Amino acid sequence: MEKAKKPLWKRILKAIGILLLICVVAIGGLFAALFITEYNPEEEEPISAVGAASKTLTFGEDFSVLSWNIGYCGLGASEDFFMDGGQNVFPSSKQAVLDNLNAVESYLQTQQPDVVFLQEVDQNATRTSYLNEVASLRSVLGSYASVFANNFKVLFIPYPFPPMGHEDGGILTFSKYDIASSTRVQLPCPFSGIEKIGNLKRCLLVSRLPIEGSDRELVLINLHLEAYDSGEGKIAQTKMLVDVMNKEYEKGNYVIVGGDFNQVFDSVDDSMYPTITPDGWTPGEVDTAAFGDGWHFYMDSTVPTCRSLNQPYIAGATPEEFQYYMIDGFIISGNILVESMETKDLGFANSDHNPIEITLMLSEPQ
């Protein structure tokens, strides 16, 4: 006798139940994989330099340092980004990323700064079509020694839609002078749980350069501080930066800190870039008094270092018409003479940041 079929509604419910079970298992498996593979670097990790330097660092000679958040070569003038109020998750195309990368490389080749601090450099990420920007930059800047430190490494970020996917990027320092040693120093992370897994693990990239005829060192600190926290992360990270810097300065070393602070130095007037998007992202403020004596803080107010990503860039827009920021800069120890500092106006053509460059000279110890 033929077995009676279950009513259609029961079969539909069973199918829905099976689909729901598959979804629960898949989501559970993804979260388990994310927890297992979470990037958890040590408090300090040594990093080996790649390449050979071509110059010797000496007292009394000018040298230049350029810092640039290149926005993973995916945030050119025509782009916006969802976390800043824009619409897009990814750059418009792989070719757009390549074009921006080529432009960044061409600019650095033309400028030939002695030291380069780069932030947001991808080496294997979904958002940049898995292009190895680190390797490409190293190939082009062959006369430099370089060190790279991860600060964004996630197996898969499942949000928003389409999901951000795999992330693998960080900060990169180039030097025409020998890099004796380099260390990745982990900064405090203000996030917890699943939010922590999918967020950047920000760090300081501390590199030591020997000085001819001296037992003192030039200490380079490349950084990219917290952006999307409520404020406590920036404060904790800045406090740790203060400790690292002062320990080096107390030894008699020369210290240069540069990068994207995601903050404004409170000693610098940024009123020329008013907040016109009150619901959008706003930078924090660095308490320069917390650093103690002997430090000088540099940001160039004549040209914005960063623009909002709530919409594509509007060329020529005034600060009253478009949201600009001044969040990239340098902190220099008092034993270094600063000769000039300038933000280069590249019109945000290939990144949401403009590069900043400073010219310096080491003072001989007294």
Bond preceding residue 91 cis, omega within 30 of 0: no
Q: What is residue 300's predicted lDDT score, i.e. its pLDDT?
A: 96
Q: What is residue 92's predicted lDDT score, i.e. its pLDDT?
A: 96
Q: Where are the alpha helices (DSSP H) in the chain?
A: 8-36, 94-111, 133-140, 193-197, 232-250
Q: Please tell me the distance from the alpha carbon of residue 204 to that of residue 207, in angstroms, as a whole number.
A: 10
Q: Are residues 18 and 96 in the same domain?
A: no
Q: Are residues 328 and 206 in the same domain?
A: yes
Per-residue pLDDT tens for 110-128? 999 999 999 999 999 999 9
Q: How many domains does the chain have?
A: 2
DSSP H/E element including 67: strand 63-69
Asked if residue 1 belongs to a domain, the reply is no
Q: What is the mean pLDDT of residues 305-317?
A: 97
Q: What is residue 202's predicted lDDT score, i.e. its pLDDT?
A: 98
Strand 115-122 to strand 217-224: parallel, antiparallel, or no bridges (unpaired)? unpaired
Q: Are residues 182 and 73 in the same domain?
A: yes
Q: Are residues 107 and 221 in the same domain?
A: yes
The rounded percent of the chain whose pLDDT value lies above 90 is: 84
Q: In this structure, what token pair is assigned to residue 100?
A: 């921006």
Q: Are residues 167 and 269 in the same domain?
A: yes
Q: What is the mean pLDDT of residues 166-189?
A: 98
Asked if residue 260 belongs to a domain, the reply is yes
Q: Please tell me the distance from the alpha carbon of residue 52 to that of residue 142, in angstroms, as a whole number.
A: 8
Q: Are residues 311 and 261 in the same domain?
A: yes
Q: Are residues 19 and 68 in the same domain?
A: no
Asked if residue 179 belongs to a domain, the reply is yes
pLDDT above 60: residue 317:
yes
**Would residue 320 be called left, alpha or beta, if left means φ above 0 and alpha means ψ between -120 and 50 degrees?**
alpha
Nearest to residue 168, comparing CAs of 200, 196, 144, 211?
A: 200
Q: Are residues 97 and 121 in the same domain?
A: yes
Per-residue pLDDT tens for 319-357? 999 999 999 999 999 999 999 999 999 999 999 999 999
Q: Please tell me the distance from the alpha carbon of residue 323 to that of residue 270, in angstroms, as a whole number.
A: 12
Q: Please tell me the distance from the alpha carbon of residue 267 to that of residue 297, in angstroms, as a whole number.
A: 8
Q: Are residues 102 and 230 in the same domain?
A: yes
Q: What is residue 26's predicted lDDT score, i.e. its pLDDT?
A: 66
Q: Are residues 170 and 219 in the same domain?
A: yes
pLDDT above 90: residue 257:
yes
Q: Are residues 16 and 119 in the same domain?
A: no
Q: What is residue 4's predicted lDDT score, i.e. its pLDDT?
A: 62
Torsion angles phi and psi, residue 65, rounded to 5: -125, 130
What is each CA distance from 191 to 39, 85, 233, in whole angstroms? 14, 21, 8
Burial of residue 144 (CB within 10 Å: 0-12, 13-18, 19+) is buried
Asked if residue 3 belongs to a domain, the reply is no
Per-residue pLDDT tens for 265-287? 999 999 999 999 878 899 999 99
Q: What is residue 3's predicted lDDT score, i.e. its pLDDT?
A: 60
Asked if residue 250 belongs to a domain, the reply is yes
- 2-16, 235-249, 286-300, range with the lowest pLDDT: 2-16
Question: Residue 238 is part of a domain; what is its CATH number?
Answer: 3.60.10.10
pTM to 2 decimal places: 0.94
- Cα 316 to chain centroid distance, Å, stands at 26
Q: Are residues 28 and 150 in the same domain?
A: no
Per-residue pLDDT tens for 190-238? 999 889 989 999 999 999 999 999 999 999 999 999 999 988 899 999 9
Supply the mean pLDDT for the chain: 94
Asked if residue 205 belongs to a domain, the reply is yes
Per-residue pLDDT tens for 30-89? 677 787 889 999 999 999 999 988 899 999 999 999 999 999 999 999 999 999 999 999
Asked if residue 2 belongs to a domain, the reply is no
Nearest to residue 120, comparing CAs of 356, 357, 352?
A: 352
Q: What is residue 217's predicted lDDT score, i.e. its pLDDT?
A: 98
Asked if residue 302 belongs to a domain, the reply is yes
Question: Domain limits at 261?
Answer: 42-362
Q: What is residue 2's predicted lDDT score, i.e. its pLDDT?
A: 54
Q: What is residue 127's predicted lDDT score, i.e. its pLDDT?
A: 98
